[in-house]
Amino acid sequence: MKKQTEKDKLTALHERLSHDDGNVGESMSIGSQKAILKRKTEEMGIHRYKFYVEM
């Protein structure tokens, strides 16, 4: 079995749509969550990530 290295890792960033947010699709809450998650993730030195949105 291959040993996983740091460059092989991919971090999952998860956002979810609030039922209180009346918008359909990618709302402002999703956009805000993405911006916060991206900034915090990069501050932590993590640059390989993928967004997953739950609606």
pLDDT in tens, 20-52: 666 555 567 888 999 999 999 999 999 999 999
Q: Domain range holding 24?
A: 6-54
Q: Which residue has the higher pLDDT, 34 or 6?
A: 34
Per-residue pLDDT, 26: 57
Q: Please indicate, yes or no, if residue 27 is contained in any of the structural domains.
A: yes
Per-residue pLDDT, 8: 82
**In which band, very low, low, confident or very high, does the pLDDT at 11 lie, cut at 50, 70 and 90?**
very high
- Gap between the Cα atoms of 38 and 44, Å rounded: 10
Q: Please indicate, yes or no, if residue 1 is contained in any of the structural domains.
A: no
Looking at the structure of the chain, the number of domains it has is: 1
Q: Which residue has the higher pLDDT, 51 or 17?
A: 51
Q: Please indicate, yes or no, if residue 11 is contained in any of the structural domains.
A: yes
State pTM to two decimals.
0.69
Residues 6+ apart with CB under 8 A from 44: none
Q: Where are the alpha helices (DSSP H) in the chain?
A: 28-43
